Structure 1
Amino acid sequence: MDPRHSAQDVLRCDLCETPVPPMYCDICHIKLCIPCVGVHLSDRSKEHRVVPFEERGSTTKCPTHPTKICELHCEQCSIPICALCVSSKEHKEHEVVDISESLTTKKEAIQRDLQELEKTIFPEYQTAASNIPALKTDARKHSQKLKKALQKQGEIIHKEIDTIIQKMQSEIDDMSTEHLTVIGKQEVAINHTITEIEQAILDLRKLLNTSDVCHVSKYKSKNEEFRRLPAQYQVTLPTFTPQEINVEQIYQQLGFLSKQVITTEEEKRLEEERWKEVWSLPLYNDSNVLPYCFLGAIHHVMISTINKQTII
């Protein structure tokens, strides 16, 4: 077997078969050793572009002007262009930069996005996903805690309140189901986005490892979309407040089951901002005027104090 063609010498100069040629003509698509570069460039019958072998594929022929090489990049159109394209109507007054500069900038942006996805965004989603089982467990525990408290009151007044107990237990179950349904939706949304992020990471790694200018030029960052975690719900859990037994008012004496309130963090933030606007009104800045909402808060505290026991 000719040693020049052994399996260990896969890469050879296409002109003289010297092993491991360090250069490459991106136009003719041939491998070149250093001595053959000059020989190859001496052929002036066609254009050449010799680059280090590692940078092969970085040269792109202009689709509009096939005989020209894309040495520039149109920032508005996000595509490689040649010198003739600059003066065309399509790119007139567009901002253009050197294609190597654009490639470097894109690669840096890709690297930043990849780093953010791997070190910040993806871990946040993983943490959110890992919290889902605990949220479900807490929701079930709270539901059971409410039902046990309710059952304890039911044992005191026996059969007279069986119907009421069943009704309130049903309300608790309904709210628990609603709560778990919301958590389930949150879990689905998080897992779906995690899958998208994993795919995005794979795609970005491929882009970092390619010299294909067209593919890199088409890259659009999705990190802004991924930075926004799916809606995080703020759940005001229902409470059961038992009362002293009064046979004549069994229903009221059994206790009060508050309604479950489920809001997102964004809704909570907007509500807080609305209250800040209310308190900033001139009426509330007058120290001689006691705001109506403050009176309402005092009334709420008084009612809470009257209740002997509240199970949270």
Structure 2
Amino acid sequence: MADDYGAQDVARCRHCATPEPEKYCDFCHVNLCKLCVGEHIGDAYDKHKIVPFQHRKSTLIYPKCETHENEACKYQCKDCDSRFVCYSCTASAQHKGHEFIELAQLSYTKKENIREDLDELEYTVFPKYEEITSNLENQIVNLDGEYERLTTDFSNQLRRQIDAVITQMEEELRQIKLKHLELLRKHLNEIKPIKESLQQTLVDLNKLGESNKVSSIIAYTSENARFREPPPTVKVTMPKFIPKQIKTTTLQRFLGELISFSVSMSNVPNSATELLDEANINFTIETGYAKLRHAIRSNKGDVWASGETGDIKCFRIDGVLAKTIKTNGNFPAGIAVDSHEALVYSDGTRSLSKVKNGQREEVCTFQGWRPTQLCITSIGDFLVSMFSDDEIQSKIVRVSGFTEKQTIQFDDDGLPLYSGNSKIKCLTENRNLDICVADSAAGAVVVVNQAGKFRFRYTGHSSSSKTKPFRPFGITTDSQGRILTADHHNNCIHILNENGQFLCYIDKIVLESPYGVCVDNDDNLYVCEYAKGNLKKIKYTQ
């Protein structure tokens, strides 16, 4: 039985516990002092291997020969699938003329490799992992404080902006008050002289009524007509503050935009998969749709598909139909499956619908806009392409929960990123969080970063074999960040790198009117053939 002791323990003899033993049994893996060696060996001298303590575990323990009992295999036969053999085996007819390697030399070489690997892992690789782990742990520890600071910063900024608006409106109200006061005083100044004249007339009439002078009474002329109709009364209503009814999302866009975290990967390894010279079709699922539009893979491995009918079908990986979900009668414009295996779809209305365990609910409704294609992001948000009710504007909206969090519609110059119409605009999120949109009407793949900033636009690759205009329909990305889009009219797939550089076509296999596309975890590509209703599984990497 081996003697286990930690770095802080003192090695002791297994028999008498004497510290710092001088010997070691390489067969039994125990520490021994000189006095206990004889006791340990006993009568089995040939069995035990006693070595100096500093050379412990240096004696090779060879495997037993299966053919020759009590002989150890000290050689490896290179002609027999590297089989271990003993000396007697090397001289047998079975191994005549074969080439042998001494296991001692092979073990020595392997030991050197092990030591080199150990040194690399211990002194080069492991410290990197420690540094990464420490950095991540520090980020987690500091996360609450960072978010508290961010919350305080934007709250203070918003308060300053709102306070400035309030101050400006208070000043406007003060100016209105001064004008109001000036108007009232002006009217008062017009009334006062007439009132004073009326008061004097009353005094005069009272005196005349008590007078007995005939001449004064006879000379009286009535002035009542002058006072009977008072001047117009000025009625000035108090100012009112009418709060403008602004949607929360609209108000949020006016006040500022909260952009989610961005992710960048350092030391990303080179692509683990290479593109095949010729892709091949591994499997075909006959979906039964006369016109097949979209397909999406779930985390469980099932494939959801939809066409131009009021249902969505779920197929197992072997192509067997597992279940069917009915819509409200309209055919789905777009489908997606979230991390909880719930099906989400749009069906021509202003709402997104979710189906989980057979229960349907509306996720959110968009006023003045109609959602079409959609995808689920790596953090569980929805990205939805949509067009306005008048079909002259298009945009991408990020939805988290039931709330619109981000709108992507214009570039930095205020120009539309996408063609303004109701044509399909399939979209997907790449591994670097770029948002890739296949704008079929514009004949372009438009890519923006997570914040919605324009990155590049791909409008096709010049090729003498592609005679029709580039019209990308479906779009997806793989584990290496490559972008794959279906060229519907030229019956092929374009593959780009994550920076928009053209890599190759998938065009040497039969694809008829490719529409929706998706990729599974093993980088198998699924392509919807629109007119035939087939869903083809394609291997394009190695």
Q: TM-score, with normalisation over the residues of structure 2?
A: 0.24
Q: 1 or 2 for the larger relative contact order (CA 8 Å, sep ≥6)?
A: 1
User: Between Structure 1 and Structure 2, which shows a larger proportion of helix residues?
Assistant: 1
Q: TM-score, with normalisation over the residues of structure 1?
A: 0.38
Larger Rg: 2
